[in-house]
Structure 1
């Protein structure tokens, strides 16, 4: 392999770049795994709703309906599909767990 790969598709690919390239090259791709781990999911309509770091209310302007969204782990995220855990990636990056 010549140069940093453009696509990392397996856990072995991630481990390879971590072992063979400088941290400034592999750290952003590991950080991207964490950054794309959580997504907003529609939990249904609401009258009042909650708004905080993991909850938000979105109003449909056409129907004036309020929808409650919750920020949760996306079960289809790449981090999980590769077989990593959030704790494992944070330890690799040196982020406090």
Structure 2
């Protein structure tokens, strides 16, 4: 019997887990290992997380109008969230 293949996108972390671990206080938190591509936040305050930290948006307006954050069908942050001025570093 053949073994089942592992999913290509093995989850190493999650926004929900980091929201709890780092006490971010977000109603919705998303994670991406490179901090560049996310689904769209739909509850606020909302956080975008990478392995070393996060950016917290207090409102939908703040999120959609943030410089260097492109919100469409997905959220793109060219260069990663660690380049944003509001980035909070939690780990190395």
TM-score, normalised with respect to structure 1: 0.20
TM-score, normalised with respect to structure 2: 0.20
Q: Which has the larger radius of gyration?
A: 1
More helix per residue: 1 or 2? 1
